[in-house]
Amino acid sequence: MDVLLDNLDLYGPGFLNTLELFALAAVGSLVLGTVLAMLRVSPVPILRAAGATYVTLFRNTPLTLLFFFFAFAYPLLDIVDLSYFAAAVVALTVYTSAFVCEVVRSGINTVPVGQAEAARAVGLTFGQMLGQVVLPQATRSVVPPMVSTMIALLKNTTIAAGFSVVEAGAIQNYLSERGYSVMVGLLWVALGFVILVVPMTLLQRSLEKRWSVAR
């Protein structure tokens, strides 16, 4: 307990930054991932190809490599200055949106084709058909796996510690400088992540039971 109580000035801000990083990246990846999913099911071939290229590229690119690019290579382009925190948000968003896209696309594919055909038959545009008919029905099958993707995103925020972002994953470095046991400190960090992940897991299980769809 001494390691935790004597270093609350590290654990408090560290986990707050982790939550902020997670929240911003989650919102960004949900928006971008949904747009990409719409591209992937678009009737326009070039849009489908663009969505597929994005997903293939970033799903197979190591997240650490994206962090390196936005933290060190991107500033050389001299476009828009990004702090290390902002660079971490962008890297996590770009990476996670590829997985969100596939989750949303798989949910769209669970909706019977007849629903989309009926929507187009009554004169709805492609965007209206997705927004008003397909996506609301796909929600039941999308939300549970989406929670798993968000849990993975929360864990991935620890990579930001290696790029000068003060969050939970960086606490061990400061504990070492102060002379405290790093092992004990990491156990408290692990417990903190368990506390954050468990509610999300319970939510996932609850939604799976409530929104289970007979296959």
Q: Mean pLDDT per 10-residue run, the chain (215 residues)?
A: 61 79 93 91 89 92 88 79 85 94 87 75 76 77 85 85 60 65 72 83 78 53
What is the chain's Cα-based Rg?
A: 20
What is the number of domains present in the chain?
1
Q: What is the pLDDT of residue 56?
A: 93
Tell me whether residue 201 is in a domain: yes
Instruction: Look at the chain and count its residues.
Output: 215
CB < 8 Å & 24+ apart, contacts of 20-24: 21/85, 21/88, 21/89, 21/92, 21/157, 21/160, 21/165, 21/167, 22/153, 22/154, 22/157, 24/89, 24/93
DSSP of 40-85, one letter per residue?
A: HT-SSHHHHHHHHHHHHHHHTS-HHHHHHIIIIIGGGG-SS---HH
Instruction: Find the domain containing 163 and state its range.
Output: 2-210
CATH number, residue 50: 1.10.3720.10
Q: Is the dihedral of CA 4, 8, 10, 13 positive or negative?
A: positive
**Residue partners of 191: CB distance under 8 A and separation at least 6:** none
Assess if residue 215 is contained within a domain: no
pTM for the whole structure: 0.80
DSSP state of 211: T
* Residue 96, pLDDT score: 95
Residue 15 is assigned to a structural domain of this protein: yes
Distance between CA atoms of residues 44 and 173, nearest Å = 50
In a domain, 29, yes or no: yes
Q: Answer whether 132's CB lies under 8 Å from 88's CB.
A: no
Domain for residue 122, yes or no?
A: yes
Distance in angstroms (rounded) separating the CA atoms of residues 127 and 142: 19
What pLDDT score does 129 carry? 78
pLDDT of residue 214: 46
Contact present, 18 and 195 (Cβ < 8 Å): no
